[in-house]
Structure 1
């Protein structure tokens, strides 16, 4: 997954956000992220069809 960075109200670049799923020089995958949602506490939730699990990404200071 990537996030899109903005500068002066315009998109400037993509930046890796959740990475690590492609393996073997992009010839295989560790997981297959699908189904993205946002929790009421602001955490990002997504499921992984390859491994049958869900992930939660939360902001920490």
Structure 2
């Protein structure tokens, strides 16, 4: 017997007035274990520093 498959789309919005690194874990609990965890990370920097951040992440 084939398992049922479901697709869910989740939109996450983020807004800040300050620079920094922001981390958040999102846990999806569909009523039975295991749960699904997704880790989000946003780096907010001045436009003039964007190239520096790209180099650091390489």
User: TM-score, structure 2 length as denominator?
Assistant: 0.31
- Structure with the larger helix share: 2
Give the number of the structure with larger relative contact order, counting CA–CA contacts within 8 Å between residues 6 or more apart. 2
- Structure with the larger strand share: 1
Largest Rg, 1 or 2: 2
User: TM-score, structure 1 length as denominator?
Assistant: 0.29
